[in-house]
Amino acid sequence: MTETIADLIEFDVLGTGDTVRLGTARTLVAGYTGRDEAAVRHHIDELAAIGVAPPSQVPMLYRVDRATITTAASTPIRSRHTSGEVEPVLLRHRGRYYLGVGSDHTDRRLETVDIGDSKRACPKPVGSTVVEIDDWNSFDWDACHARSWVDGKPYQDGTLAALRTPVDLLGIITDRLGDEGQDLICFAGTLPLIDGEFTPGARWEIELGLPDGRSLTHTYDTTCEGV
């Protein structure tokens, strides 16, 4: 089946003038990607206490529809009980790797019923600019700094040092799902919230600072439909 322009999502490659156009791709949201497995288990226990079922595997890989990935500045949602989270996004296109920034916007009420469904219930906003990564082994992942704001209030702030590295995560994906070289979009995990509480806001700003001082950013507004 031939993909049309409308089926593609387009990214500008930072500092190069190049463009990446992704169509069909394996699209995943990786959860529980903390490097400290004891801390991850503690977090799972905390979530269980409020009714969120524990994952069957750690880390957990949730499949989402590629069509839900969007660079739009306005994101429609179907529930007021949603919130975003800044995440590094790993991309592969025609064998070349890129790093972007996205928001794992999630239905928090549905999350207590089925985490996979809660992630599939919302669009997944991503920034329209990515940076090419020639070699994940030499890329200073731990020096990347992620931040987010909701309605102008700081929401998350920290480095990626607590998250599994791309080499580790990509290896897990291959081990579990196989690898036929297809294009890939993978949300790679998030940071703790500054105040520890999910906030359903209207305007979300996300930023991923790179080791060389440049940044990947995205801002989006949510519009609640049919509620």
Token pair of 194 as six digits: 């500054």
Q: Which residues contact 187 (CB under 8 A, 6 or more apart)?
A: 28, 29, 30, 87, 88, 89, 102, 104, 124
The answer, as to whether pTM is greater than 0.75, is yes
Domain annotation for the chain: domains and CATH numbers: 5-224 (3.90.850.10)
As a whole number of Å, the end-to-end CA separation of the chain is: 36
Q: Are 12 and 19 in contact (CB under 8 A)?
A: yes
How do the pLDDT tens digits run along the chain, 227 residues long? Answer: 334 445 899 999 999 999 999 999 999 999 999 999 888 887 788 777 767 788 889 999 999 999 999 999 998 888 888 999 999 999 999 999 999 999 999 998 888 888 888 899 899 999 999 999 999 999 999 999 999 999 999 999 999 999 999 999 999 999 999 999 999 999 999 998 999 888 889 999 999 999 999 999 999 999 876 55
**Residue 109 and residue 182: Cα distance in Å, rounded?**
33
* Segment holding 168, helix H or strand E: helix 166-177
> Which of these, 50, 64, 59, lies nearest to 31 by C-alpha position?
59
